[in-house]
Structure 1
Amino acid sequence: MNKTLWEEVLKFSFDDPNDEYGFSTRLALENHWTLYFTQKVLLEYKKFMFLAATNNEMVSPSETVDIVWHQHLIFTNSYSDLCNLLGKRIEHIPSTHNRLEFEKFQKAKERTSALYESVFGAQPQEVWHYKNELDSLHLDESKYEISNLRKMFLWYSIFLSVPVCLIIFPVLIKIPNPNFLLFYILAFGAAILFLEFYVSKSFISLYEKIKSNSILANLTPLELVFLKENKLEAVVHGAVNNLIENKKIKILTNRRLQLIDENLVDNPYENCVIEIMKEFDPMTYRFLCTSAMQKPIFEQLKKGTSRIREIIMDSRQFVSTIIISMIVLGFLLSIVFSRLITGIYRDKPIVFLLIAIIALVFASFHYLDRIINLLFTKIIPSSFKEEVRKNKENNKNWEWNYFLYGNMVLASSFIPLTNYDSGTSSGSNSSSSGSCSSSCGSSCGSSCGSCGGCGGD
């Protein structure tokens, strides 16, 4: 192994520090990758290119590494710089998918694996052995979708009330009010306690199964903030607050923000905020938040983290837990609906019962939403917090502190601005008086076909 060359390849940077939408950000955004996995794939791409340059036989990338290769070919100057550093022009050979080509590229993949292991050791499974890196979580996909189940939950409960009413009708007519509601509310509370225990145990078991996965284990603090809050605004809050704390942004008496130090820092999210503020006069926080969330670096964080959330929520174990919870809640609702049916049938007063039913339906949906998010709002963050607190070095990092303590670390003068109570906007800021919502940043990508490999000499 040419260690000198490899050390130079390791130092090679794909990004211009002044680029707002550089190579790695574009790569992560278009493929919905996390920051860790993006850097991991870039390292594996460097290893692949090193093997291609230092061996005369044909080598072939994994599908994930090939995505990076396609993207890098578009950045012609950067690609030429890397090839010049390697001392060899690495040519991309697309596969034609005929049988002879398949056998050739299959042998190239086997050769690549052997070369890689002899030089770098074992290949990372999530990069080299999976088409979709999140398949490395080993989660079986459910045939049901949580969103569809939630939409039908109330209708199933109402439909179930008819057979339930026929079965328990003799009992219902013997229980007078308000005893029925009292017993029912006690039963409802007991069911909630049962579900709380059951769902927590089930989701902890699910997380224990996947927590060692390198992609999940290496989520950044701001990715964890978004996973927990499911709001991109929360990430912007943290970046802006740190700039205020470090005296780079000033809150004016009219509750607008003014940039007082234009020098960039080491944090890309803070730099994004600084670049936005350079273009405008003092602005409302609402406008700044909306503008930041439209930038690729923030959008990338959202997409990469949301994809992990969706994969977990689509898993069979997750959906099964929610289905059982819906069955319990649905059965309870069907009982109270049955009481309503018998009341109407017997011409009894139902006003208080109807009010109670409306309250119970809202409570059921609220609780259902809570348990759907429980894994992301409590179980995963709690596990990370335990590990983070063990490392005292993390206490020096504002991102980890923000993840640990949330809004408690926000400046008291900044907190009111996060509610977007910004007064009247004017000038360029007035167009952003709507709610702070994210939209997709612009992107460009390639639609190259699959890759066979690169040729040797």
Structure 2
Amino acid sequence: MSETHSLLATPDHPVWAALSPYIIGPQDADLPFAERLARDNGWTGAHAQRVIEEYKRFCFLAATVDHQVTPSDAVDQAWHLHLTYSRDYWERFCPEVLGRPLHHGPTAGGGAEQHRYFEQYADTLKSYEQAFGAPPPADLWPSAARRLIDDPRARRVHPRDALIIPRRAVRPLLWLAGAIAVVHFLYW
């Protein structure tokens, strides 16, 4: 571990000391940030809390490493939602917690941009491990290939607009359909 990164995430680092206790949004909201994040993404409250912790770690990296960083999709969902709390984000979080602005820049598209973000995300994963002493949790921070090649093919679907059948349920349904077809063929 390099000397620069070995001290980054210590509790006495000023950015981490400000990030750790930070709670996003108004404290008296009927729908607090964590609950809204969970609701909007179909996550449990515990999962949303883990994502918020990883969002804080991402923001720590963004404020302290010497390269641009790219979030995982889950972390990006927390960042997008936080940006909608614009007063909290721009008037409290960036100046008081991070000590600097943190802008969200989407890709311009194309092969060069995909390559740049691929490298940036891989560097983010490396910096995470250096700063926090362990690799990021794989369920919240997938590999660069999955994050930037496979996952962008996905679409966010609202359950009221589509019937969603998990892949693990498809095989038994196909087996059942096949059994019904055989019975139908044999007896009708």
What TM-score do you get using the length of structure 2 for normalisation? 0.70
State the partner residue of 1:319: 173
Question: 91, 98, 107: which is aligned to 2:110?
Answer: 98
Deviations 1:302-358 (A, max 9, x none): x8xxxxx94266442x3245446x539x839x75xx7xxxxxxxxxxxxxxxxxxxx
State the partner residue of 1:124: 137
State the partner residue of 1:36: 46
The separation in 2 between residues aligned to 1:313 and 1:109, in whole angstroms, is 29
The separation in 2 between residues aligned to 1:24 and 1:106, in whole angstroms, is 29
Instruction: Tell me the CA shift for residue 44 of structure 1.
Output: 0.9
Instruction: Tell me the CA shift for residue 90 of structure 1.
Output: 1.1
The letter of the residue matching 2:94 is: C
State the partner residue of 1:83: 94
- Within a 5 Å distance, the mapping from 1:433-452 to structure 2 comes to none
Higher share in helix: 1
Q: Is the 8 A contact 1:41 1:68 kept in 2?
A: yes
SS of residue paired to 1:93: coil
Q: Is the 8 A contact 1:15 1:24 kept in 2?
A: no
Deviations 1:22-66 (A, max 9, x none): 322222222212222211111111110000001131111122211
The separation in 1 between residues aligned to 2:167 and 2:9, in whole angstroms, is 42
Q: Is the 8 A contact 2:19 2:98 kept in 1?
A: yes
Q: Is the 8 A contact 1:61 1:109 kept in 2?
A: yes
Instruction: Tell me the CA shift for residue 93 of structure 1.
Output: 1.6
Q: Higher mean Cα deviation, 47-56 or 16-25?
A: 16-25
Distance 1:312 1:37, change over 3 A: farther
Deviations 1:204-262 (A, max 9, x none): xxxxxxxxxxxxxxxxxxxxxxxxxxxxxxxxxxxxxxxxxxxxxxxxxxxxxxxxxxx
SS of residue paired to 2:105: strand
State the partner residue of 2:76: 66
SS of residue paired to 1:82: helix
Question: 62, 67, 77: which is aligned to 1:57?
Answer: 67
Q: Is the 8 A contact 1:313 1:319 kept in 2?
A: no
- Within a 5 Å distance, the mapping from 1:246-395 to structure 2 comes to 310-311=165-166, 314-316=169-171, 318-320=172-174, 322-323=176-177, 327=180, 331=183
Q: Is the 8 A contact 1:60 1:108 kept in 2?
A: yes
State the partner residue of 2:24: 14
Distance 1:7 1:311, change over 3 A: farther
Aligned length: 157
Instruction: Tell me the CA shift for residue 108 of structure 1.
Output: 1.1
State the partner residue of 1:453: none
Q: Is the 8 A contact 2:25 2:33 kept in 1?
A: yes
Instruction: Report the identity percentage.
Output: 28
Deviations 1:143-198 (A, max 9, x none): xxxxxxxxxxxxxxxxxxxxxxxxxxxxxxxxxxxxxxxxxxxxxxxxxxxxxxxx
What TM-score do you get using the length of structure 1 for normalisation? 0.31
Distance 1:312 1:101, change over 3 A: closer
The separation in 2 between residues aligned to 1:98 and 1:92, in whole angstroms, is 18
Between structure 1 and structure 2, the one with the greater Rg is: 1
Q: Is the 8 A contact 2:25 2:85 kept in 1?
A: no
The letter of the residue matching 1:44 is: E
Q: Is the 8 A contact 2:83 2:89 kept in 1?
A: yes
Instruction: Tell me the CA shift for residue 73 of structure 1.
Output: 0.9
Distance 1:21 1:54, change over 3 A: same
SS of residue paired to 2:20: helix
Deviations 1:9-30 (A, max 9, x none): 1211124342122322222222
The letter of the residue matching 1:83 is: C
Unaligned runs of 5+ in 2: 1-7, 152-158
State the partner residue of 1:199: none
Deviations 1:250-284 (A, max 9, x none): xxxxxxxxxxxxxxxxxxxxxxxxxxxxxxxxxxx
Higher RCO by CA contacts (8 Å cutoff, separation 6 or greater): 1
